[in-house]
């Protein structure tokens, strides 16, 4: 474990996906007045009442709430730990101690992800050059450089459909080995209308269908 007793975690719900799949947007919608319709078992959960947490804030000795909705970027192992495998990320140790585990994995076709990533890079650059940011230039520049370095490491994956699918496959295999009870995959760009349960690692990329 990650340095504390996690036995109080009743239900851990992970919203996962590589960068630019819509994780943050979906989580914000869940806290809005008209939460989106979710597939399968997620529709029966009162997810707006769950406490939301980003995986970046869930490490070290940070205790997780009893019912936790965790934002997880599938590029974390490589951008933070220089590894391809999810066993390298201590945040995912929490899966072993939660009484109930559910995962919603988001995806989009590589072309869409690549375009979104380019747009986000431009947004980050404009953000660091705003007048208010320039006043605090040193602090903001350091934050920007960290985000930029992580994005530079993950960006090539978004233009490599084969490599991207291999990374998703590692995620599916990790969840399968962890015995996660409920795992669904879908796209936020169509309102999760094509979300499907994943019982075993799929043999073909979702975007090739």
pLDDT digits (tens, 9 = 90+) for 50-76: 999 898 877 656 678 899 999 999 999
Which comes out higher in pLDDT, residue 34 or 202? 202
Q: Is residue 37 part of a domain?
A: yes
Q: What angle do CA 55, 58, 59 make, to 5 degrees?
A: 110
Are residue 124 and residue 186 in the same domain, yes or no? Answer: no
For 14, the 3-state DSSP assignment is: strand
* pLDDT at residue 7, rounded to an integer: 54
Cα separation of 70 and 16, whole Å? 8
How much is the average pLDDT of 20-39?
86
Cα separation of 64 and 77, whole Å? 20
pLDDT for 100 beyond 90: yes
* pLDDT at residue 4, rounded to an integer: 43
Q: Is the pTM of this model over 0.75?
A: yes
Q: Is residue 176 part of a domain?
A: yes
Exposed (0-12), middle (13-18) or buried (19+): which is 99, by Cβ within 10 Å? exposed
Which candidate, 154, 179, 177, 150, places its Cα nearest to that of 167? Answer: 154
For 186, the 3-state DSSP assignment is: strand
Cα separation of 39 and 164, whole Å? 24
Residue 38 per-residue DSSP state: -
N-to-C CA span, the chain: 39
Reported as a pLDDT band with limits 50, 70 and 90, residue 31 is confident
Q: Is residue 69 part of a domain?
A: yes
Q: Are 1 and 56 in contact (CB under 8 A)?
A: no
Please, which residues have CB within 8 angstroms of residue 187's CB and are 6 or more apart in sequence?
21, 22, 106, 107, 108, 194, 195
How much is the average pLDDT of 5-26?
86
| pLDDT, tens digit (0-9, with 9 covering 90-100), for 130-181 | 555 555 545 555 555 655 666 666 677 788 899 999 999 999 999 999 999 9
Are residue 42 and residue 64 in the same domain, yes or no? Answer: yes
How much is the average pLDDT of 32-52?
87
What domain range includes position 173? 11-110+161-208
Question: What is the tally of structural domains in the chain?
Answer: 2
Are residue 126 and residue 86 in the same domain, yes or no? Answer: no
């Amino acid at each position: 474990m990650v340095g504390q007793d996690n036995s109080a975690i009743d239900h851990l719900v992970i919203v996962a996906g590589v960068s630019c799949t819509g994780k943050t947007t979906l989580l914000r919608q869940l806290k809005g007045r008209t939460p989106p319709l979710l597939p399968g078992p997620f529709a029966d959960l009162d997810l707006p009442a769950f406490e939301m947490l980003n995986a970046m804030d869930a490490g070290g000795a940070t205790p997780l709430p009893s019912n936790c909705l965790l934002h997880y970027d599938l590029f974390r192992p490589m951008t933070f730990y220089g590894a391809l495998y999810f066993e390298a990320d201590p945040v995912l140790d929490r899966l072993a101690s939660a009484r109930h585990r559910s995962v919603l994995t988001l995806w989009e076709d590589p072309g869409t992800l690549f375009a979104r990533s380019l747009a986000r890079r431009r947004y980050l650059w404009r953000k660091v050059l705003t007048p208010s940011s320039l006043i605090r230039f040193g602090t903001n520049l350091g934050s920007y450089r960290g985000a930029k370095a992580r994005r530079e490491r993950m960006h090539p994956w978004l233009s490599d459909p084969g490599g991207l699918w291999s990374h998703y496959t590692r995620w599916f295999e990790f969840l399968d080995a962890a015995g996660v009870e409920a795992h669904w995959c879908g796209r936020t760009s169509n309102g999760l209308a094509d979300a499907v349960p994943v019982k075993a690692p799929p043999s073909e990329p979702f975007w090739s269908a």
